[in-house]
Amino acid sequence: MTEAVEYDVVVLGGGPAGENAADRTRAAGLSTALVESELVGGECSYWACVPSKALLRPALARAEARRVPGLAGAVGGPLDAEAVFAHRDYWTGDWKDDGQVDWLDSIGADLYRGHGRLYGMRKVAVTSPEGEHHVLTARHAVVVATGTRALVPDVPGLADARPWTSREATSARRVPDRLLVVGGSVVAVEMATAWQALGSRVTILVRGSGLLPRMEPFAGELVAEALREAGAQIRTGVDVQAVVRDGETGPVTVVLEGGETLEGDELLIATGRTPATDDIGLETVGLTPGGWIDVDESCRAVGHDWLYAVGDVNHRALLTHQGKYQARIAGAAIAARAAGHAPPDTARWGAHAATADTEALPQAVFTDPEAAAVGLTLEQAERAGRRVRAVDHDLGKVSGAGLYADGYRGRARMVVDLDREVLLGVTFVGAGAAELLHAATVAVAGEVPIGRLWHAVPAFPTISEVWLRLLEAYRDGADGQGADG
């Protein structure tokens, strides 16, 4: 039996982006249905941001404590893996979504559990785990928020070797003695940091020349230096040719180009993400299954006045906070258009344009040291044809950093648009650097003139005093190594 139900808005995918879209449309008084095939809260809540940070926090806290006089000797022992896992399990709700479902109920959105597919214009067909069928019709909009899944490359033997992806790496309950990590971006370095601290002997295999290739080069260099000091091995410029697993639970062997072999107890593949759009009915509305969905700045699918895509599926910025931001933009645009207020020919209308996806994109990497950046790197700015100057400062020479920890190591860079004298990008690397990021995001997104930043006085003695040192270096035309104190 098929039940047909009509709503103002139907949201396909119940991760953070989908939840925020539903929240915004309900707040505008639009009836909203949300369709989710797994857990409400999505990848971030159960297999990515939340569990990974729960695993990383004890590792980072111990690393920082070991650099504090009077405390270092008290934290010399290993981490209690079972306690760390219990901490992670608490923050994932033991992989139950009762709290998120209660929240959906509180805002008045209806939840449909099951596999949802577009079923032509303004329609979503849902098949529940029990085999029930629903056809949901949207009077105003359908929002696709199905996210991405881990990309597992087509390497001989890899699929049969049952590798870890980010899901297994964040939910595992046993510490492997030897962990091989393939990849050099965020998932790879964060999980290498966490599992090395939990007792694994980690080897990172990177096809390119270094870690964190999308950030300023010094970010990857400082993170690599710390990982090596912690005991991890990092191999760059290597390519995996084949993988073999010995039986069901035996060790896994990786064959590198040239024939060299490496053995581990588990293998984590962290080589990217692919859109989870292969079986959601894109072909019924003229789009390509398995592809990214192109959108305008209100996150409306190009060529469709009723279809929106928020979060990873639109490929604008594969970050949870940006997906939530896009969902708020899309929800506001849907509500305005439903009320007949939004201009029909443009998405650039105040709060209905997701400009931060290109102008001021922030990201924090929770390694030891942390790496945090917003906006453009120097290379990206130069490639875009901007007339720019990079100003650097050694974070360890800021008084607040020296008080924060002995031997504090880090670096800061701001990329200045010389024609307008505003910041195009800022990068911080160091312990606690992620907490510096929002100030930089405000400066970049707000296009705050350098002249006004002089009047945003950092408290002494904090690590934020690096802002003063960067501004001094810019004024003096120096390299950022100004006097501190």
Contacts of 125 (CB under 8 A, 6+ apart): 116, 117, 118, 119, 133, 134, 135, 136, 281
Instruction: Respond yes or no on whether the N-terminal peptide bond of residue 58 is cis (omega within 30° of 0).
Output: no
Residue 440 pLDDT > 60, yes or no?
A: yes
Tokens of 56: 């990383």
Return the pLDDT at 349.
Answer: 46
Q: Are residues 237 and 193 in the same domain?
A: yes
Contacts of 4 (CB under 8 A, 6+ apart): 134, 135, 136, 137
Nearest in space to 427 (alpha carbons), one of 363, 476, 355, 480? 363
Residue 75 pLDDT > 90, yes or no?
A: no
Residue 71 placed within a domain: no
Residue 47 placed within a domain: no
Q: Are residues 163 and 143 in the same domain?
A: no
User: What span, in angstroms and rounded, lies between the C-alpha atoms of 170 and 272?
Assistant: 16
In terms of residue numbers, what domain contains 267? 159-271
Q: Are residues 190 and 338 in the same domain?
A: no
| Mean of per-residue pLDDT scores for the chain | 93
Return the pLDDT at 1.
Answer: 53
Residue 481 pLDDT > 90, yes or no?
A: no
Return the pLDDT at 477.
Answer: 85
Q: Are residues 176 and 248 in the same domain?
A: yes
Residue 296 pLDDT > 90, yes or no?
A: yes
Q: Are residues 134 and 6 in the same domain?
A: yes
Q: What is the mean pLDDT of residues 165-186?
A: 97
Residue 353 placed within a domain: yes
Tell the burial category of 178 from Cβ atoms under 10 Å away from its Cβ (0-12, 13-18, 19+). Answer: middle
Q: Are residues 164 and 193 in the same domain?
A: yes
Nearest in space to 25 (alpha carbons), one of 311, 327, 331, 352? 331
Residue 416 pLDDT > 60, yes or no?
A: yes
Return the pLDDT at 107.
Answer: 97
Angle at which helix 16-27 crosses helix 320-338, to 10 degrees, equals 30
Residue 483 pLDDT > 90, yes or no?
A: no
Q: What is the mean pLDDT of residues 341-347?
A: 53
> What is the per-residue pLDDT across 102-144, written as a single tens digit (0 to 9) for each?
999 999 999 999 999 999 999 999 999 999 999 999 999 999 9
Could you give phi then psi for residue 129, rounded to 5 degrees? -60, -25
Q: Are residues 412 and 463 in the same domain?
A: yes
Return the pLDDT at 356.
Answer: 84
Q: What is the mean pLDDT of residues 152-181?
A: 96
Q: How many CA atoms lie within 13 A of 268 on its CB side?
A: 34
Residue 59 placed within a domain: no
Residue 130 placed within a domain: yes
Q: What is the mean pLDDT of residues 455-463?
A: 95
Q: Are strands 201-206 and 178-182 parallel, antiparallel or unpaired?
A: parallel
Residue 307 pLDDT > 90, yes or no?
A: yes
Return the pLDDT at 139.
Answer: 97
User: What span, in angstroms and rounded, lies between the C-alpha atoms of 105 and 217?
Assistant: 46
Return the pLDDT at 484.
Answer: 40
Q: Are residues 307 and 391 in the same domain?
A: no
Residues constituting the chain = 485
User: What span, in angstroms and rounded, lies between the C-alpha atoms of 12 and 74?
Assistant: 50
What Å distances lie between residue 39 and 3, 42, 99, 104, 122, CA to CA? Answer: 23, 6, 11, 12, 24
Return the pLDDT at 84.
Answer: 97
Angle at which helix 186-198 crosses helix 217-230, to 10 degrees, equals 20
Strand positions, DSSP E, 189-323: 201-206, 233-236, 240-245, 252-256, 261-264, 266-269, 273-275, 307-309
Q: Are residues 418 and 345 in the same domain?
A: no
What does the DSSP 8-state code read for residue 109?
P
Nearest in space to 152 (alpha carbons), one of 179, 126, 187, 110? 187
User: What span, in angstroms and rounded, lies between the C-alpha atoms of 304 and 307?
Assistant: 6
Return the pLDDT at 357.
Answer: 81
Q: Are strands 115-118 and 110-113 parallel, antiparallel or unpaired?
A: unpaired
CB 339 within 8 A of CB 349: no
Q: Are residues 281 and 343 in the same domain?
A: yes
Q: Are residues 455 and 338 in the same domain?
A: no
Residue 279 placed within a domain: yes
Q: Are residues 12 and 125 in the same domain?
A: yes
Task: Specify the number of domains making up the chain.
Answer: 3
4: confidence class by pLDDT, cuts 50, 70, 90: confident
Strand, coil or helix: what is 364? strand
Return the pLDDT at 73.
Answer: 82
Among 216, 237, 271, the domain-final residue is: 271
Q: What is the mean pLDDT of residues 319-336?
A: 95
Residue 362 placed within a domain: no
Query: For residue 384, what is the domain's CATH number?
Result: 3.30.390.30
Query: For residue 265, what is the domain's CATH number?
Result: 3.50.50.60
